[in-house]
Structure 1
Amino acid sequence: MNDTQQTKGQPDLFPAALFGLCPRCGQKTMFASVTRFADRCRACGLDYDRFNVGDGPAAFLTLIVGGVILALALLVELNLDPPLWVHILLWVPLTVASVVGALRVSKAMLLILEHRNQAGEGSIDRDEADQ
């Protein structure tokens, strides 16, 4: 969305996802915990439960982050040959932080895009079903 299409109060996609901003009013009310959505926006009352983000990003991001961390760990091992405890102290926290951070941002992006595109579960037109 550019500035001419954007309605008042709606934040841009990337800052909103990064900071957990409500897609309707722009307040920091999207998350109740690190990766769990709040039930609704405390400022404008937007019901976050009606959006179905699911756990799709979790497996995808874990594989991507795992590949990146593995490549970095191999580079460190082959170039510096540190002891095992250095690998544990370096890669375990970095992996956890990367997965959780990426999961939070990707879930927020999906929720914001669902809100902006008015996406919902598909349904059969009742008039066509009656015929």
Structure 2
Amino acid sequence: MLQAEPEVVHTARYTLVSLSPYDALRQPLHQIIHHTLLRHKKSSGLTRGDGLRAWLAGTGYGLCLPVSCDARLLYSSPLPNIWRSAGPMRIDAALQAIAGSAWIMTVEEVSRTVCFVPADQRQN
């Protein structure tokens, strides 16, 4: 069986560029990035919600609304200091790691939202 040739275009004498979007364009949460979060001088510290929103910035995705009582607990808890500067890593992996193993991340592609539910609640 013949494989389809990838579509490419010459952009310079020795340069071929693929016309297909690469993975990070099709799935923005698969981008590999590095983040450094700065604490505001007036605030007591960053929350995990701040960290999640920072990692989602520029992706076109946001956190689920309305915020449930369970999610409010996650978003208001303090962000561990190790997350003030992290990466390079995939955005989806960073989001799940910030939330921790007690939370399961789901992505709603239609609304471009990222949701977290407690792991024990998901199993019921």
TM-score (norm: length of structure 2):
0.26
Bigger radius of gyration: 1
Bigger strand share: 2
TM-score (norm: length of structure 1):
0.25
